Amino acid sequence: MMRQSKWKNVIYMLIALAMLIYALPMISFKPGAGWVSVFGMVWAAFAFLIIGAHLHFLLGVDAEKQRALDQIRKAKLMDWQRKWAGEKKESQGL
């Protein structure tokens, strides 16, 4: 079951996708359109960025990265503990 924040991301992504589907046929990509064409391309690029950001969050790419970082932190902590225990033994003359 999705958390409430994931539902919010799904809704926002669907809104951005609907706006993009509605607007793309109306945007003029002809060379003579000038600023209207530039604005349409920039607007479409931002819409794709928004959709991509929501998909990135929904697919859990951040969760995978977080798990990998947690494993690295645990390995570093264990290494640090081993070094600290070794230094403690050396200082005691063992």
Are residues 39 and 13 both part of a single domain?
Answer: yes
pLDDT of residue 41: 86
CB atoms near residue 18 (< 10 Å): 10
Q: Residue 94 pLDDT > 70, yes or no?
A: no
Are residues 28 and 54 both part of a single domain?
Answer: yes
∠ CA(78), CA(82), CA(85), 5° rounding?
A: 135
Closest CA to 28 of 20, 16, 37, 19: 37
Are residues 66 and 45 both part of a single domain?
Answer: no
Are residues 47 and 74 both part of a single domain?
Answer: no
Range of the domain at 87: 61-94
Are residues 49 and 20 both part of a single domain?
Answer: yes
Are residues 28 and 74 both part of a single domain?
Answer: no
pLDDT of residue 40: 86
For residue 54, with 0-12 CB atoms within 10 Å meaning exposed, 13-18 middle and 19 or more buried, which class applies?
buried
For residue range 17-74, what is the model confidence (pLDDT) as tens digits?
A: 999 999 888 887 777 778 888 888 899 999 999 999 999 888 877 677 778 888 999 9
